[in-house]
Structure 1
Amino acid sequence: MSAAPTPGTADTSPGLPAVPQDAFFPLRLTYDGPLAVLTMDSPPANTFDAAMWRGWAQAMRWLTEHPPRALLVRAGGRIVSAGVDVQVFADLDPDTAEEFWHGQLRITQALEKLPCPTVFAAHSLTLTAAFELALACDLIVATASARFGLVERKVGFTPSMGGTQRLAERAGPGRARELVMTGDLYRGATLADWGVVNALFKPATFHADAHAYALRLANGPTVAHSATKQVVRAYLDGGVEAADGLLPAVAGRVARSSDHARAVAAFLADGPEHATTYAGE
């Protein structure tokens, strides 16, 4: 059974066109003000089959064209995802495998390139493709008991939506090799110790806590958040020197934002605990 939608959500956000009904089936895209919420809703296991991948591709096109101020990725149901439908491997012609996986990797890359903060919420079992998409998000929140795995070794395969390298980016190459080569499952608490999971929430309030965590980012200084993503990406791609080379221009753009100007004025008037409402511009 799917989890109920988060109270306060709607089919659109101010300033954005209405979301086409069932456009991303079996995913649902809703909004809570500036926060977009993308929910995988394909019971009982949110398996990655042709329909799930098609829904993800369509959702990423929409969000790329209409970026929100933050995105929360979550799942309805008892588990987040059982991963790739094994029938996909059985049906895939080896001669077309490179093209097929190139297409799925583009979904990961599109999610990663969104200019807004992105949060993946994992309340339970999160395998293969779903875990790889989680690793493309800026932040991952989970329950301590949630289980994560890149278990492609069970079908003699390797993760092909970018999970291995993104895990290495977060936890180091040794940990990435361990997780992928063993195919073992790892708890959210363990991955928090590794620096892969950013925050742990209690199961009883997990969905509300994850929503509040993402909504706080959505209500923040959007231009500054986008700048932070650009600087971190430059560092990951080219080290400190590359990030330094990008930073002055990025800082210049943030300095021209109205949110920055109003926050500075509020800080001078009311101190560091000022209650500025950021408009995302």
Structure 2
Amino acid sequence: MTPPLRLAHDGPLAVLTLDSPPLNLFDLAMWDAWESRLAQLTAAPPRALLIRAEGRVVSAGVDVRVFADTEAEQAAAFWAARLRTTQALEALPCPTVFAAHSLTLTAAFELALACDLVTATAAARFGLVERKVAFTPAMGGTQRLAERAGPSRATELVMTGDLYRGATLAEWGVVNALFPPAEFHAASHAYAMRLATGPSSAHAATKRVVRAYREGGVPAADSVLPSTAATVTRTDDHRAAVAAFLAEGPEHTTAYVGR
């Protein structure tokens, strides 16, 4: 049986591909695959991660049969486990990129919001449409959307259940880069590869500072910054880049080794 979520590596870049045709639905098999793959990536982090999808849609979201099969007394534990998937993705120390070429609903959109960066086509459609089953996003999408676009926008998107184009979410600051459909997958791969071949320790430090800010604002970020910066100064990449800058100028072409 073909796994619904494939993990491959292109040198320093790990690529997770949703491939459960025709709709890449999030059923128990898909969530189990996410848990397994994220455990692998947590144990051996790549220098960057790209998440993409095969097929006409990125994902039509949660398989509605999941709601029918989940007993009320099991719901808290069930959704806590799903939220841990989001948190595990968010906790990876490497840059993470979610590439959305088309329709991206509910669970897939929530995982996109757990990534550092999101690429999309202008016409890609995004939605947290749980209102159609009288539910609310339960993998952390509401609060992560509020963090990126503001509470009012998050409330609007969730309560209306409407679909929003990639171009609109780029204006809101949710989508970071828009690429044309014809070159979308190649452009998103190149976007992620640029991060994978960059100064990995510096990227991890950036994530650490941003995480501290999210948890406690500027004071929390300030509190971790000196030690974080000191850690980066000891890396091979930092020392090599400083030497190259002094010898060749700001346009130096130092190849970063990720340590």
| TM-score using structure 2 length | 0.99
* Deviation string, structure 1 residues 192-215 (Cα, Å, up to 9, x no partner): 000000000000000000000000
Q: Which residue of 2 aligns with 1:104?
A: 82
Aligned pairs (5 A) from 1:77-226:
77-226=55-204
SS of corresponding position for 1:275? coil
1:36 counterpart SS class: strand
SS of equivalent to 2:20: coil
Determine which of 55, 73, 76 is the counterpart of 2:51: 73
> Counterpart of 2:15?
37
1:48 to 16, 26, 38: 26
Amino acid at match of 1:221: P
Instruction: Determine the structure 1 residue equivalent to 2:246.
Output: 268
* Cα distance between partner residues in 2 of 1:43 and 1:61: 24
Aligned residues: 259
Pairing 1:238–2:216 present:
yes
The equivalent residue for 1:227 is: 205
Cα separation, 2, equivalents of 1:244 and 1:194: 27
2:99 and 2:249 map into 1 onto residues whose CA distance is: 34
Structure 1: gaps of 5 or more residues: 1-20
User: What SS does structure 2 have at the residue aligned with 1:227?
Assistant: helix
CA-to-partner distance for each residue in 1:168-187, whole Å, 9 max, x for gaps?
00000000000000000000
Q: How far apart, in 2, do the equivalents of 1:260 and 1:51 lie?
A: 42
**Superposition misfits of 4+ residues, deviation over 4 angstroms:** none
- AA partner of residue 119 (structure 1): V
Runs of 5+ unmatched residues, structure 2:
none
Shift of 1:241: 0.6
Matched residue, 1:251: 229
| Residue identity in the other structure for 1:154 | K
CA distance, structure 1, for counterparts of residue 4 and residue 245 of structure 2: 45
Letter in 1 for 2:255: T
Please give the alpha-carbon distance, in whole angstroms, between the structure 1 residues aligned to 2:131 and 2:219: 38
Q: CA deviation at 1:26?
A: 1.2
Alpha-carbon distance between aligned partners in 1 of 2:7 and 2:157, rounded to the nearest angstrom: 31
Deviations 1:129-159, CA, capped at 9 Å, x for gaps: 0000000000000000000000000000000
CA distance in 2, matches of 1:269, 1:77: 48
CA distance in 2, matches of 1:42, 1:26: 5
**Number of the residue aligned with 1:62:** 40
For 1:182, the aligned partner's letter is T
2-structure distance, mates of 1:87, 1:185: 22
Structure 2: which amino acid aligns with 1:116? C
2:143 partner amino acid: Q
- What is the aligned-residue identity percentage? 72
TM-score (normalised: structure 1): 0.91
Q: Distance in 2 between matches of 1:29 and 1:61?
A: 12
